[in-house]
Chains A and B, each alone.
Chain A
Amino acid sequence: MSLPILKAKNLSKNFGGLRAVANVSFDVTPLGVTSIIGPNGAGKTTLFNLLSGLYIPDEGQLLLEDTDITQLSPVQRLACGMARSFQITNLFFDLTVEQNLQLASQKLESWTNLFYATSKSKLALKRAEELIEEFKLEAKKDEPVAFLSHGEQRRLEIAVTMALYPKILLLDEPTQGMSQGDTHNTSELIAELSKTVTILLIEHDVELVMDLSKHVIVMAQGEKIAEGNPHDVRNNPIVQTAYFGETE
């Protein structure tokens, strides 16, 4: 078994009197998809925000390849190789697809290039072109993002997070609001990406999670209640109770 790329140790977060995440620990091993699931209000999104740096945990520690990133900002976490997408599409809507990807890739360049014409930023332009091709956005590259379909926007959201070659990608409900066809395409895309980058996924669609994941972490009421491979998790009575309630 390979060494974990991400280690969460006893992460906790309180909002006033509400304990949103309580003593959650888990490991994420390199490559493939690790997923976090749980019913509404389980604390998935809070946990995700703790991992991505939007919130700093009240207690606990987060290690990315043995580097302590617990107190780091999102900017610093990205520099360490951690990128995230958003549940609600969070892009630059009045910029074009190409401009969004160039903006996302610009950090590959030296900061001095900020002051030269965009055409001098060869690395960023090349990376944007690669992503346009990889995510099949060629036909829309000159369109402002606001004019894209929901499915295309979600695809671009993932493309943007891939711009800086992250080691680990945190995906927050990437198929939210998608049609069945788009969900299928995105699922294939995530499976393909997971061959080269570690993916930590939060998703409501349990079937999708079970198909894609090598490891599943289940949360309920702010705590981790189970983890394991999809088969074990599916058959775990504690998980079934959390999802479907007590059976008489």
Chain B
Amino acid sequence: MDKYQYQAVRIMEYVMLVAAIILIIFGKITGDTFFLRLATEALIFGGLALSVDLLLGIVGLLSLGQALYFGFGAYLSALILRDWVPSFWLCILLVAISSAILGWVTSYIALRSKGVYFALISFGLAQVFAKSIYNTRALGASDGMVGVPIVQIPLPFLTLNLGDAITFFVVTFILMSCIYFALKYFLYTPLGRIWGGVRSNESRLPYLGYNTQTPKRIAFILAAIVAGVSGALYPMLRGFVSPELMYFSVSGNAVITVVLGGVGTLIGSLFGSSLLMILKSIIGTLTFHHHIVIGLLFIVVVIFAPKGIVGILCTKLKERATR
């Protein structure tokens, strides 16, 4: 990451923080929670995009099936909260551990191959899981699961009620910030550097003494945890889950989000998700065919701004510095 990209990322972080504060103040003053719930959903899908960016932008693995872990987290969260105990912390903990195990197991299938084959295997894995759930009556089959209760989060001095849109937004924002900064921390460790080596020239690493499967597996498991935990928040917000959460449209949207925000920047995923959500809701009020517009937007971004919004900002900063 050069100094301009570093600056661009820092600016985006502040933009996200300021936007969040404005949203909270707006929600508090007007009592209108529509935008807050929209922003919360954007952050949740931003978490999924973060996991895609970890694999794609940092390690160089294009996953077309990351929705598998997102959907898994969502279903497990719904099951725990609805049928067992409505505990936020227990739910997040169990989903994180289970997603790690699922990521570890599936990594032995997905990481057997590289490049386009990895993309196809990740896609295939998600399809298998999605169709299995679609045909499982105990999990609600095609209808999914409804009736997930509103969750309370007990803290030492207060109890947070996730039924309140502002509270839910703040909790999601804090959780996503923690995930974001944790992933960002890894970028500045030797492990992050090895990930960069895998992305840049994987075949060279064995001659420097590295077995490349282990760092790739660590990234794959981390990405599964991030996607799973993000998914766990979904039923808490919407009160239901459905097999569509594991479909290709969700995985594909996450890839579009990452490209729109800026591949390999992490913050671009959260920003891109927010932008995509705004665009969808604006375009959605004008036409039912908003997918066409989103598809066109993706093409335009790939052609004219392949490094996404962070890339555009980076170029502007460079131009300003050299002027």
Chain A interface (Cβ < 8 Å from any Cβ of B) = 52, 73-75, 78-79, 83-84, 86, 90-95, 99, 102-104, 106-107, 109, 113-118, 121, 124, 160-161, 163-164
Contact = CB atoms under 8 A, between A and B. Distances in A.
6 contacts: A83-B207, A90-B203, A92-B197, A117-B189, A164-B208, A164-B209
Contact of A116 (B189, B206, B210): B189
B201 interface: yes
A163 B209 CA distance: 11
Contact of B208 (A103, A113, A117): A103
A213 B238 CA distance: 74
B207 A99 contact: no
Contact of B209 (A92, A93, A94, A107): A107
Interface string B204-230: 101111110000000000000000000
A94 B197 CA distance: 9
B207 A121 contact: no
B191 interface: yes
Interface of B: 185, 188-194, 196-197, 199-201, 203-204, 206-211
A99 B197 CA distance: 9
Contact of B200 (A83, A84, A93): A93
Nearest to B186: A115
A117 B191 contact: no
A159 to B, nearest CB: 12
Contacts of B192: 118
A73 B200 contact: no
A91 to B, nearest CB: 7
A118 B190 contact: yes
Contact of A163 (B191, B199, B204, B208): B208
B204 A79 contact: no
A84 B192 CA distance: 24
A78 B190 CA distance: 19
A106 B207 contact: no
A74 B189 contact: no
A160 B208 contact: yes
A115 B209 CA distance: 18
Contacts of A79: 209
A91 B204 contact: yes
B206 A74 contact: yes
Given A92-B201, A94-B200, A84 B209 contact: no
A114 B194 contact: yes
Contacts of A90: 201, 203-204, 207
Contact of A95 (B189, B196, B206, B210): B196
Contacts of B193: 95, 99, 102-103, 106, 118
Contact of B201 (A78, A84, A93, A163): A93
A103 B194 contact: yes
A194 B206 CA distance: 24
Contacts of B201: 90-93
Given A73-B206, A107-B209, A114-B190, 17 more contacts: A52-B207, A74-B206, A78-B207, A78-B209, A79-B209, A91-B201, A92-B196, A99-B193, A99-B196, A104-B208, A114-B194, A115-B189, A117-B185, A118-B193, A121-B190, A164-B208, A164-B209
A124 B204 contact: no
Contacts of A106: 190, 193-194
B187 to A, nearest CB: 10
Contacts of B203: 90
B196 to A, nearest CB: 6
Contacts of B194: 103, 106, 114
Contacts of B206: 73-75
A163 B197 CA distance: 16
A34 B57 CA distance: 43
Given A90-B201, A103-B197, A124 B208 contact: no
A102 B189 CA distance: 11
Contacts of A124: 190
A78 B260 CA distance: 41
Contacts of A109: 190
Nearest to B204: A90
Contacts of B208: 78, 103-104, 107, 160, 163-164
A171 B208 CA distance: 14
Contacts of B211: 75
A160 B208 CA distance: 8
Contacts of A160: 208
Contacts of A86: 204, 207
Contacts of B196: 92, 94-95, 99, 103
Nearest to A157: B204
Given A92-B200, A93-B201, A95-B196, A75 B190 contact: no
B150 to A, nearest CB: 37
Contacts of A99: 193, 196
B209 A118 contact: no
Given A75-B209, A79-B209, A103-B197, A115 B204 contact: no
